[in-house]
Structure 1
Amino acid sequence: MTSCASRYRRRGLLAAGATAVLALTLAACGSDNSSAPAADQAAKPTASSHAGHETMPGMDHSAGMDMNQAGANGLSDTKQGYRLTSQDTTLAAGKPVAYRFAITGPDGNPVIAFAPDQTKRMHFYAIRSDLSGFQPLHPAMAPDGTWTADPASLQPGSWRVFASFIPDSGPRKNEDFVLSRTLTVPGDAAATPLPAAAASTEVDGYTVTVKGDHTAGKAAELTVSVAKDGKPVTGLQPYLETYAHLTAFHEGDQAFAHLHPETKVSGNRGGPDLSFHAELPDSGNWRLFLQFQSGGKLHTAALTLHVA
């Protein structure tokens, strides 16, 4: 099991050296076989998709470029011989659905050995092309290596799903991977603009404020503060080994970033300020999703950060 610090050291600059890479991150992690409530829901579909071809019996994968840039920002289904494969290219709208997938290794066989990462062997995310409808999930794996994620009701549009994992065997043992595929949810998709950049947002009575001066390609500290009823919150509870998870997606290409706070966990007394190391290589808007736990309840806050 890895700590926040060790996970950061492995994943920390996942985005560095990539053109469309990510750097911030809310560790979006829900409970096994269930999704956290979507932070927002309307979406604007895009034409981002790949042609599929088979890599294992009964499954296919969308053709991805096995290159450092694509692998670093999570926008490819392939990296260093590992592939995210699935037969599911469409999912029904407006009801709970099951998305089945597998990770195949360099030998073409399904990977069944995964190292726990913050108590979970697989972190899975679904988000629409306009960066709405964010859902973090922890799917279940069958003995044959098939994973099943259960997103909550999806709105029509183009979606991208991300699988974050660490192989526990093979030539890339203990390395971090983030792979993704696109899928379509049929129906009329309402186009909703990305919310304007803002320094704070409200969720479930909490005020979440983000501070930091961010320029593309330069490392900087990002501080997240949590308050309620005008008072600083000092009772944040650990969730998956940290006080908060921060996940970020870049507007336009959905490049992914996953980063954990540098704040040391010490009992049920986290907050109000949490520090994150951030290095955003791309300018433009990033949609941030922060998950934190208080009073035994998990909350998800979303806001837009502009990077010069």
Structure 2
Amino acid sequence: MSQRFRTPRRALAAAAATAALTLTLAACGSGSDSGKGHDSGMAGMDHSASPSPSGSSDGMAAMPGMGTASTGNGLAAAKDGYKMTSTATTLPAGRAADYRFAITGPDGRQVTGFAVDQTKRMHFYAIRSDLSGFQHLHPTMAADGTWTAPLAALQPGTWRLYASFTPDGGAGKGKGFVLSRTVKVPGMAMPSSLPKASGTATVDGYTLTVKGAPMAGMAHQLTATVTKDGKPVTDLQPYLDTYAHLTAFHQGDQAFAHLHPETKVDGDHGGPSLTFHAEFARSGNWRLFLQFQTAGKLHTAALTLRVG
């Protein structure tokens, strides 16, 4: 072969090698960003560096739990000038209790203007450190901006309480936030072991099968199929303007992720398949809570998903 043919081939090979190196460096950069605030190689471990109820951690909040408009992964009490405040540091065990909190803005004043998201101005979540006892509530707000969340009975242990909202004015207008604080519930805590990763879950006679192979830091599609007695379910009713609401929490640090539904709502005959846009910032086990409604009754199914 003549020299004039060999030279272009060497140039092409060099260009290909350069492109491959560029992609590799980009992938490494993405992985580093997704682990900000924690050692991403320590997924699944208990991180004692979690923020205190009154503190904030921009380093932790810089790592989103979902690739959506939400700011932060829910592990900080403050972000971008907005802060979740509360005087409560403990809640009683074994009985229902109200949890009162407020959101203050960059000016230090309590925020009273919130945009409606999935039919509500505030979504509130509670979960124990072992990822048990999940509650999803919609608190009420007083005129001064104080919110009251009516929690069902809590078991002893440490609980993280999340507020998910979008300001309707000010510097954060139109930006979704997830902030959280922790509270102690006195008594002897009896931690539960996290169930093994599984693609199926059952609740109230329904079986949910979740398919998808999400990778940390990458957008993926998850599909949930609902059946009952082996037959496809096609009578799902709208719940919060969708046929299913899916929330997830990371086993290692309780990072929050809200998986947005892609299935369009069309009357009271949703199902059997539901699709979600999912993007998890960290690898490891995530506990998923899928809520759906049939015949006016709300069902909550839970399963553990392994994210690579």
Is the TM value for this pair above 0.5? yes
Asked if structure 2 preserves the Cα contact closer than 8 Å seen for 1:65 and 1:76, the reply is yes
Aligned positions of 1:187-206 closer than 5 A: 187-206=187-206
Which of structures 1 and 2 has the bigger CA Rg? 2
Q: Please say if 1:64 is aligned against 2:56.
A: yes
1:96-175 to structure 2, matched below 5 A, reads 96-175=96-175
Q: 2:35 corresponds to which residue?
A: 19
Q: Return the offset for 1:161.
A: 0.3
1:307 equivalent in alignment to 2:300: no
Task: Show the counterpart of 2:227.
Answer: 227
Look up the equivalent residue of 1:241 and give its one-letter code. D
Is 1:185 aligned with 2:201?
Answer: no
- The AA in structure 2 aligned to 1:65 is S
User: What is the CA-CA distance between 1:119 and the residue it aligns to?
Assistant: 1.3
CA shift, 1:72, in A, is: 1.6
Give unmatched runs, 5+ long, in structure 1. Answer: 1-15, 22-44, 52-60
Q: Matched residues in 1 for 2:248 and 2:262: separation? A: 17
Give the C-alpha shift of residue 283 in structure 1. Answer: 1.0
Q: Deviations over 1:82-123 (max 9, x none)?
A: 000000000000000010100000000000111111111110
TM-score, reference length from structure 2: 0.81
CA displacement 1:14-66 (0-9 Å, x = unmatched)? xx954379xxxxxxxxxxxxxxxxxxxxxxx9867645xxxxxxxxx611023
Q: CA deviation at 1:78?
A: 0.5
CA distance, structure 2, for counterparts of residue 48 and residue 154 of structure 1: 24
CA, structure 1 residues 48+101, in 2 after alignment: closer, same or farther (shift >3 Å)? farther
The CA distance in 2 between the partners of 1:222 and 1:107, in whole Å, is 40
For structure 2, the residue ranges without an aligned partner over 5 or more in a row are 1-31, 38-45, 64-70
Letter in 2 for 1:72: G
Cα distance per residue 1:217-269 (max 9 Å; x no partner)? 22221100000011000110001100000000000100000122101111111
8 Å CA contact 1:18, 1:73 repeated in 2: no
The alpha-carbon distance between structure 1 residues 50 and 221, as it changes in their structure 2 partners (threshold 3 A), is closer
Quote the sequence identity (%): 64
1:256 aligns with 2:256: yes
Give the whole-Å Cα distance in 1 for the aligned partners of 2:268 and 2:33. 37
1:110–1:145 CA contact under 8 A, matched in 2: yes
TM-score (norm 1): 0.81
Q: 1:280 to 1:105 in 2, by over 3 A?
A: same
Q: CA RMSD in A?
A: 1.9
Tell me if structure 2 keeps the 8 A contact 1:19–1:69. no
